[in-house]
């Protein structure tokens, strides 16, 4: 049976088309996926992402635990509220999940993991923890992402107390929190998954419907999973389970920049495997593709270079901002395909012209590639 978020009734009241996703019943769209996508690019849209799970990590060993658990280094988080994007790896260097970790101050951190991997992630974290650690899955919290050029201003109006003022002062990839009436845990981060500015707001589940309705009244468009996927694709952001998984290293999915190699004495899980892979030089280029012929890019379509299969599309679709089909692809090790160079994708057994680009395709509402 699929789980329902605290906003389930709100989705039904707005006529959302509900679909199963990662064990949850979630809105795919509220009538028009394209209108939702364009609303985020032009003004503001919001997403119920309460199926994602915050896990609070505390205790005197929390910092050392996360330095070993994650490929990026939480020692870089020196200010409370600072966020870090990282992969969590298995010993073979495969990606168990990609996540964001926030430094809460003292010995506290908040890790936000993906919905479909929550149970697996928690089991892995618990297996690596010792008696100095406290892991608290925050099942009491809902999460609303408000994204777009006007998102921060619109969302701040409806945050309680002085949290709106504090949120507007946030730098990108920072968060602030507030205890409202001494008990309600609100947490606002200037992060997102759309390539636009905005907030991701964690708040008590029973208070989420009130915030949701207030944002709807203020003209923020509710958006579903469909628009979330096309927005992140235009922004060149990976989707776990499509662009990477436990068999894929961050070096082969464009996430090598998230691996903190220094200091060399930090022995994070998967380090030995990544070190050997990097030394081999046998890495798979991870690229963006623009379809210049007719059709739509989809996952698992072969990429052709000089008529030969040279890789595979990992995720693809129609980019509403671009009016074109785009995708992400992993090429075979040693494949040479420069930015702007032509290639092809096999669609229904036939080669269709495409061109390689470096993501993102769109960022902050602006097209970043040459469509001509």
Q: Show the tokens assigned to 331.
A: 């090429």
Indicate the DSSP class of residue 284.
Answer: P
Superfamily of domain 1-280: Probable tRNA modification gtpase trme; domain 1 (3.30.1360.120)
Please write the tens of the pLDDT for every residue from 252-267. 999 999 999 999 999 9
Per-residue confidence (pLDDT) for residue 96, from 0 to 100: 98
Residue matched to tokens 């910092």: 63
For tokens 């980019």, the residue is 319
Q: pLDDT for 305-315, tens place per residue?
A: 999 999 999 99
Radius of gyration of the chain (CA): 21
Q: Residue 192: CB partners within 8 Å, gap ≥ 6?
A: 145, 147, 198, 199, 200
Tell me, rounded to whole angstroms, the distance of Cα 113 from its chain centroid. Answer: 9
| Beta carbons within 8 Å of 279's beta carbon, 6+ residues apart | none
Kindly state the tokens that stand for 117.
């991997």
Cβ atoms within 10 Å of 91's Cβ, excluding its own: 10
Q: What is the pLDDT of residue 2?
A: 83
Q: What percent of the chain has pLDDT over 90?
A: 95
Placement of tokens 């961050």 in the chain: 250
Which tokens in the block code for residue 135?
């892991």
Q: Phi, psi (5° rounding) for residue 340?
A: 90, -5
> Rounded CA gap, 223 and 180, in Å?
28
pLDDT class of 134 with cuts at 50, 70, 90 = very high
Q: Is the pLDDT of residue 184 over 60?
A: no
Residue 36: per-residue pLDDT: 98
* Whether residue 185 has pLDDT greater than 90: no
Domain 284-367 CATH superfamily: Aminomethyltransferase beta-barrel domains (2.40.30.110)
What is the pLDDT, as a whole number, of residue 179?
A: 59
What is the pLDDT averaged over residues 137-161?
97
Do 111 and 100 touch, CB atoms closer than 8 A?
A: yes
User: Sorting pLDDT into bands at 50, 70 and 90, what band is 178?
Assistant: confident
Domain boundaries, the chain: 1-280, 284-367
Average pLDDT score over residue span 335-349: 97
Confidence of residue 183 (pLDDT cuts 50, 70, 90): very low
3-state DSSP assignment of residue 98: strand
pLDDT (tens digit, 9 = 90+) per residue, 30-65? 999 999 999 999 999 999 999 999 999 999 999 999
Half-sphere exposure (Cβ direction) of 83: Cα atoms closer than 13 Å: 20
| CA–CA gap between residue 208 and residue 206 (Å, rounded) | 6
Q: 185: buried, middle or exposed (CB in 10 Å: 19+, 13-18, 0-12)?
A: middle
Whether the model pTM is above 0.75? yes
């Amino acid at each position: 049976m699929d789980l329902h978020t605290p906003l389930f009734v709100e989705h039904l009241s707005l006529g959302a088309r509900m679909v199963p996703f990662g064990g949850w019943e979630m809105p795919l769209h509220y009538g028009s996926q394209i209108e939702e996508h364009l609303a985020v690019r032009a003004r503001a849209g919001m997403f119920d992402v309460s199926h994602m799970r915050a896990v609070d990590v505390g205790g005197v060993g929390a910092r050392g635990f996360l330095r070993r658990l994650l490929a990026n280094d939480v020692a870089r988080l020196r200010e409370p509220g600072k966020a870090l994007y990282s992969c969590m790896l298995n010993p073979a260097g495969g990606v168990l999940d990609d996540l964001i970790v926030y430094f809460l101050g003292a010995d506290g951190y908040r890790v936000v993991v993906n919905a479909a991997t929550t149970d697996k992630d928690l089991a892995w974290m618990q297996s690596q923890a010792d008696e100095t650690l406290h892991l608290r899955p925050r099942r009491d919290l809902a999460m609303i992402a408000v994204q777009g050029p006007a998102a921060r201003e619109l969302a701040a109006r409806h945050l309680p107390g002085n949290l709106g003022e504090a949120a507007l002062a946030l730098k990108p990839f920072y968060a602030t929190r507030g205890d409202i009436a001494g008990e309600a845990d609100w947490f606002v981060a200037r992060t997102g998954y759309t390539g636009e500015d905005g907030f991701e707001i964690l708040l008590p589940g029973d208070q989420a419907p009130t915030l949701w309705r207030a944002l709807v009244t203020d003209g923020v468009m509710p958006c579903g999973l469909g628009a979330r996927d096309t927005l992140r694709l235009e922004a060149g952001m990976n989707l776990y389970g499509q662009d990477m998984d436990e068999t894929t290293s961050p070096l082969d999915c464009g996430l090598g920049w998230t691996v903190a190699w220094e200091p060399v004495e930090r022995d994070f899980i998967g380090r030995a495997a990544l070190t050997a892979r990097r030394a081999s030089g046998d890495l798979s280029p991870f690229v963006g593709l623009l379809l210049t012929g007719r059709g739509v890019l989809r996952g698992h379509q072969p990429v052709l270079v000089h008529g030969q299969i040279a890789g595979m599309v990992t995720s693809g679709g129609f980019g509403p901002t671009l009016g074109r089909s785009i995708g992400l692809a992993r090429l075979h090790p040693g494949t040479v395909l420069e930015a702007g160079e032509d290639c092809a994708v096999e669609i229904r057994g036939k080669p269709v012209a495409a061109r390689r680009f470096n993501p993102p395709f769109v960022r902050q509402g602006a097209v970043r590639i040459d469509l001509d």
